[in-house]
Amino acid sequence: MQLKAILAGIAFLGRLVTSTYNTPGNFSHDEKSFLLNGEPFQIIGGQMDPQRVPQEYWRQRLQMARAMGINTIFSYVFWNNLEARPGEWNFEDRNAIGLFARMAQEEGLYMVLRPGPYVCAEHEWGGFPAWLSEIPGMKVRSDNQPFLAATQEYMQHLATELREQQITRGGPILMVQLENEYGSFVAQSNGELDPKNKTYLEASAKILRDNFELMLYTNDGDSDQLLAGGTLHGVLAQTDGDTTNGFAALDRLTDSTMKGPKMNGELYVTWMDAWGDAQLRGGHKLDLPAVAKDIDDIISGGHSFNIFMLHGGTSWGYDNGANRNSLKSKLQPQITSYDYGAVIDESGRPTEAYETLREVIAKHVSGKIPVVPTVPERSQVPRFALKPAAALFEVQNDTHRERQPYPVSMEGLGQSHGYVLYEHRMAEDAQGLLRVGDMPRDRVLIYINNRREGVMDATYYPVPDVEISLKRGDILRLLVENMGRVNFNYQTMREQRKGIIGNVTVGQGGPLEDWASYSMPLKCVSHGLEGTYEVQNLDGPVFYTGTFKTPASNTSALASDTFLAVPTGVKGQVWVNGKLLGKYWTRGWQQSLYLPGAWQKSGGQENEVVVLELEPKQGAALEVEGIAERTWLLSKDPDAP
């Protein structure tokens, strides 16, 4: 009886805790303050996007945020990861946004949701699914019925996942951002979008209000012009970038329904990196004293902020975006790492800025900040050689193929990422400059009878010319790589189809007809890689395979994190135990890929490594190693014009 009474008491306490945990609340604002359940609330926030972090490490990253004094996590949601194909929804693993929200609440954190549909975030096409390009009449970020219908479907599914995580239902989510820096989009349109036309924002706000019960806000750049284009009557306006300029611009707003407490919606620490940048961090050096003073002043003034990035994480696989100022400029694809010089680095460890900003925040918050949690171990993996297992062109018959008079775009093949191989047998001799569609999209490896003859690369402008000479019966192959869809800039991001768009010509001849277009998304690789292959001079891409064991020194339940480098490779991508880590390129700055211990096999088991090397070298070993401390290095591109 006594045991039954104890168990009943425990059950009662459990129900009591659950009831308190799920008590509905509210979040609003007056002229100067955010109000949480009617009481002033200052947002001390940091950006952390769950889809960029292994789910196994979510709790540790959230605990790191809480131990720094953060009380609110800001999170983008990447639509394209949730709906990679129309109508096929995935809220599992890193897409389990609802689980992330519950975990944040368990760690004493609130959330601000930034669902887009456009988020920028240096993410592939700003978060838009590639298949939007194939919908007739589609114009993204516009008062366009096909786009609004697709957006409505997306928000309905996201809201279903997050409905119980709203503050109004006892969850941690306080408010939802409307669009993202829409004022910049308007400003870049050169009048094509009327800055006074708010119909798109009004329609977007209605979609959010139909699906969420929370307060909305907008976030734009730190000027009057950008606020004018991105704000909406009845929605609280905020700015990012320079705090002083942004807050002054908010003071100058004349629509009282947009005014209230001030928040720097993205307080930048440093910056993102693109392949081949002249300087690491895009030339934005961390000025830690200035960042610390900015945060101190914001908190002292009773305002709010979101550190961007608090923890950047990784643009896994093909998730990186790109910038391009105009069609007559070079493409700037971001690297796989989204470390961003963040306060918490890519492997979840505190950086120089962490303790400094923690001390600044601690001066202002009441109560004791939690101790900094244990950080994941990092280890080294001795260098090991991989063996060439198969040529990419030899396994092409396992892929989807279409034969048409002219090349089929990547999206036309039902594909979003990776590569498309185009193959044509010459009916007559031809020589001269090769022209590939309207422009290279984005990097084209050129082969004649399996021998590499050149590279056309949109990361250089003007794109280097390649002259070729073909004989009747020769096989011309063009392997086209999607390096990342543009995520920012009106003129270049609206149409983002990949592959070959248009015709292929050689010299003064007409369009080459009769093409086989092979879809090669290469998200998962395994079939056909059990054999051996002998690499030839100027060969096509080759799959290499090998294994390594987790270091015996590892003592934790999970294997230790490491950074996997391919020091003898040129360009390609890496899979470990079936997970696509991302791209490597000797060009830099990134020379190694983050490999979480959670994705490794511990206990002396073999970890399977597959590398697709795009430019294999005859007679040269391809080697891989795991390094405990990442180094950033800019190297010469062997294909530079």
Q: Is the peptide bond before 462 cis (omega within 30 degrees of 0)?
A: yes
CA distance 313 to 441: 27
CA distance 11 to 16: 9
Q: What is the largest distance, in Å, between two alpha-carbon atoms of the chain? A: 95
Residue in the structure block whose two tokens are 């949690």: 373
Residue in the structure block whose two tokens are 């939802």: 176
Closest alpha carbon to 466 in 438, 444, 441: 444
Question: Hey, which residues does 610 pair with through a beta bridge?
Answer: 545, 575
Question: How do 322-323 and 486-488 pair as beta strands?
Answer: parallel
Question: Hey, which residues does 403 pair with through a beta bridge?
Answer: 516
Q: Which two tokens stand for residue 607?
A: 């970890």
The phi-psi region of residue 288 (left if phi > 0; otherwise alpha if psi is between -120 and 50; otherwise beta) is alpha
Instruction: Compute φ and ψ for 328, nearest 5 degrees.
Output: -105, 50
| DSSP letter string, 431-493 | EEEEEESSS-SSEEEEEETTEEEEEEETTSSSPPP-EEEE-TTPEEEEEEE----EEE-HHHH
E runs forming strands in 120-179? 173-177
- At what angle are helices 288-300 and 352-362 packed, to 10 degrees? 20
Closest alpha carbon to 120 in 215, 203, 44, 220: 220
CA distance 295 to 291: 6
Instruction: Compute φ and ψ for 505, nearest 5 degrees.
Output: -130, 155
The phi-psi region of residue 178 (left if phi > 0; otherwise alpha if psi is between -120 and 50; otherwise beta) is beta
CA distance 352 to 357: 9
> Are the CB atoms for 446 and 456 separated by under 8 Å?
yes
Question: Hey, which residues does 36 pair with through a beta bridge?
Answer: 27, 39
- Name the residue type at position 284: H
Q: Report the chain's C-alpha Rg in angstroms.
A: 26
Helix (H, G, I), strand (E, B) or coil at 66: helix
Q: Which two tokens stand for residue 588?
A: 């830099």
CA distance 617 to 538: 7
CA distance 337 to 316: 8
Residue 27 C-beta-side C-alpha neighbours within 13 Å: 26
- At what angle are helices 58-67 and 97-106 packed, to 10 degrees? 40
- Catalytic residue IDs: 181, 266
Q: Which two tokens stand for residue 28?
A: 């609003």
Angle at 49 between CA 43 and CA 54, to 5 degrees: 135
From first CA to last CA, the distance across the chain in angstroms is: 84
CA distance 57 to 536: 42
> Are the CB atoms for 445 and 543 separated by under 8 Å?
no
Q: Which two tokens stand for residue 573?
A: 């991508």
